[in-house]
């Protein structure tokens, strides 16, 4: 069986399989029903590994083992595989989420927090900085900053960025507002994001800054997170932000922002 390497690589990424798994799976798809030995020959996967791989594929919902001797394996329709893999991913994610949630009430979290607290004592505030890669990671970090905010949150974003903020940060902003944190959001507002701006105004003061083109956030005049790439020109996976814990720079940026903020009206 000859399958293009590019096609196999796409399947590996989409279904989160290793090379041997995707080779055995596609080999079985090409046969419908087959034995482990036959699949080993077709896929060019060592026979010693084929049984383990078939067992793994069965657990993941890609194939079914047929009863009888010799043991044979049955390929499922690709549409059915997609549905099964989706359901398994949801179940797995829920189980992992429950395990992590339980940690909040266990001793292991206390020990981890103690390790972190002791370590931070020896770190200069200026050393608490770094780069954050990938848009989802950027939003996760910004979400953390908002959850830990004590007094102020300032966010400057693009028109498209404003749309993303509601889904990614709404829960944290709502809790921050209840704590008394003052949140300000500035972005170009047009018909594409006007409704989102109204939703965000429940938790923040939102103003239309049509000429501004920047992406950054300042928390408590202390922490600064700024995105260094144009979100219209970069794929979300390659988005990059710089995180700094510096009162001097953050306060200076906030002063510049406040000077511009006064010139624009709310929505």
The mean pLDDT of 124-132, rounded to a whole number, is 68
Above 80 in pLDDT, residue 116? Answer: no
Residue 82, CA distances (Å) to 15, 87, 95, 216, 258 in order: 9, 9, 20, 38, 51
| Predicted pLDDT of residue 25 | 93
Which domains does the chain possess?
5-80 (1.10.10.10), 125-261 (3.30.870.10)
Mean pLDDT for all residues in the chain:
88
Residues 6+ apart with CB under 8 A from 229: 238, 239, 240
Higher pLDDT, 124 or 20: 20
In this prediction the pTM is 0.62
Above 60 in pLDDT, residue 233? Answer: yes
Q: Convert the pLDDT of each residue in 31-57 to its tens digit.
A: 999 999 999 999 989 999 999 999 999
| Predicted pLDDT of residue 266 | 73
> Cα–Cα distance between 259 and 29 in angstroms, integer?
64
The mean pLDDT of 6-23, rounded to a whole number, is 90
Contact 29, 11 (CB under 8 A): no
Between 173-177, 253-257, 263-267, the lowest mean confidence (pLDDT) is in 263-267
| Predicted pLDDT of residue 95 | 87
| Predicted pLDDT of residue 226 | 92
The mean pLDDT of 179-201, rounded to a whole number, is 94
The mean pLDDT of 139-167, rounded to a whole number, is 94
| Predicted pLDDT of residue 124 | 56
> Cα–Cα distance between 143 and 83 in angstroms, integer?
31
């Amino acid at each position: 069986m000859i399958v293009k390497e590019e096609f196999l690589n796409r399947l590996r990424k989409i279904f989160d399989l290793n090379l041997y798994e995707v080779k055995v799976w596609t080999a079985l798809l090409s046969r419908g029903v087959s034995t482990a030995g036959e699949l080993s020959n077709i896929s060019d996967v060592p026979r010693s590994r084929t049984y383990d791989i078939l067992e793994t594929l069965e657990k993941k919902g890609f194939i079914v083992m047929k009863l009888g001797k010799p043991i044979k394996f049955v390929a499922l329709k690709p549409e059915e595989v997609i549905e099964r893999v989706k359901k398994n991913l949801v179940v797995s994610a829920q189980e992992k989420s429950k395990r992590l949630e339980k940690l909040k009430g266990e001793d292991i979290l206390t020990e981890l927090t103690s390790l972190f607290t002791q370590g931070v004592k020896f770190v200069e505030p200026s050393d608490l900085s770094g780069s954050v890669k990938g848009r989802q990671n950027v939003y996760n970090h910004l979400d953390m900053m908002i959850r830990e905010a004590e007094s102020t949150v300032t966010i400057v974003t693009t028109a498209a960025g404003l749309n993303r903020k509601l889904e990614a940060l709404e829960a944290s902003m709502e809790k921050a507002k209840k704590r008394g944190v003052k949140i300000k959001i500035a972005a170009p507002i047009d018909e594409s994001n006007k409704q989102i701006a109204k939703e965000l105004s429940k938790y923040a003061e939102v103003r239309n800054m049509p000429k501004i083109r920047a992406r950054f956030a300042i928390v408590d005049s202390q922490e600064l997170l700024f995105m260094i790439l144009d979100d219209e020109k970069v794929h979300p996976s390659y988005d990059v932000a710089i995180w700094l814990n510096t009162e001097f720079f953050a306060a200076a940026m906030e002063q510049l922002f406040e000077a511009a903020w006064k010139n624009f009206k709310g929505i």
